[in-house]
Amino acid sequence: MALLDKKYSNIHTKTGDEKIALKQKYDDGHINTLLDLAEQQINPEFGALLYQIQEMQDDITEVRRYLTQEVGDGAKGDTGPQGPQGQAGSNGSDGADGKDAGVYGSDLKILPNQFMSNDDGKALNFAVIEDDNKSTIGVRVNEADCELFAMLPIPEGKSVSSFQVFASDRLTTTLSVVDYTNGSVQNVAIGDTTKAISLGKKPLASTSTNYVSITVVTTATNQVIYGAKLTLT
C-alpha cells in the first residue's frame, strides 16, 4: 500500500530569525504557561491539547527508534513463497584442452598393453608382457607366426600426419584406416620401426566412424614392442 497524502497544514509560517525567536520562547519555558493555565483551571482545554501533543510526540519518537534501530537500510517483510523454477541457462564455453587420453603436445602415445595378437598361430595365441629384462618392459607375441595390432580413434578435430612404432628389432609396420560400422580396412602408410613414417601431404582426418589400426609384423617371439605414437595436427 502506498503512503497516503498528508492531512495536516502548517501551524505557522515563520522562518529564519522569526522561527529562531519562537524556539527561544520555547527554550525559555513559556510552554509551561499553557500547563499552568490548565492546572489552575483557567484554561483547562490547554491541558487536553498538551496531552495530545505529547502523545503524538511519543508516537513520532517510537517511529524514529524503529526506523533507525530495527529497519536500518530498509524494512524487510516476511519471506514470500518460492517462485517457479527458471529456465536452464545457456551452456558455458568449452574449457581448455586437457592432457588426458595419452596426448602430450602433438603426440598421442600408444602403450604396449594396447597391442594384441591376431589368430595366425597354430593354437590360441595372445600377446604377453615381456619383463624378463628388468630394465625394460614391452609386449611380444607368444608364437612367431603372429602379428601385433593396436587400434585407437583419432581425437575429434585432429588428423594423423605420421606414426612410429618403437621396438627391439627392425620390423615392418603398417597404418590402416578402419570404418568401425562395417570393419572395412584401407592401408594408408607402410614402413619399419626404425623411424617415423609420414602419411604424406594429406594427413588422415578424424571422422565420426573411422579409427586407425597399426600392424607390426613380428617374426620371432623375442621381438619386443615398447610402444608407439601418432603425430597429430
**CA–CA distance, 120 with 151 (Å, rounded to integer):** 18
* pLDDT tens digits, 15-50: 888 888 878 888 888 878 877 877 888 888 877 887
Cell (9 digits) for 114: 594396447
- Residues 49, 54, 55, 57: is their CA dihedral positive or negative? positive
Report the alpha-carbon angle 34-38-40, nearest 5: 115
* pLDDT tens digits, 188-225: 999 999 999 999 999 999 999 999 999 999 999 999 99
In this structure, the chain runs to a length of 233
| Range name among 34-38, 57-61, 95-99, 130-134 with the lowest pLDDT average | 95-99
Q: What is the pLDDT of residue 2?
A: 67
Amino acid at 72: G
pLDDT at 125 over 90: no
Identify any residues that bridge with 163 across adjacent strands, giving them in sequence order. 197, 230
pLDDT at 64 over 90: no
Contact 151, 230 (CB under 8 A): no
Cell (9 digits) for 99: 592432457
Burial class of residue 214, CB neighbours in 10 A (0-12, 13-18, 19+): buried
Q: Which residue bears the cell 503512503?
A: 3
- Residue of higher predicted confidence among 65 and 177: 177
Burial class of residue 140, CB neighbours in 10 A (0-12, 13-18, 19+): buried
Cell (9 digits) for 104: 602430450
Q: What is the pLDDT of residue 26?
A: 81
**CA–CA distance, 79 with 37 (Å, rounded to integer):** 53
Q: Would you tell me how many other CB atoms lie within 10 Å of the CB of residue 111?
A: 13
Interval 120-148 mean pLDDT: 85
Categorize the per-residue pLDDT at 153 as very low, low, confident or very high, splitting at 50, 70 and 90.
very high
**CA–CA distance, 156 with 211 (Å, rounded to integer):** 11
The two beta strands, 185-192 and 148-152, are unpaired
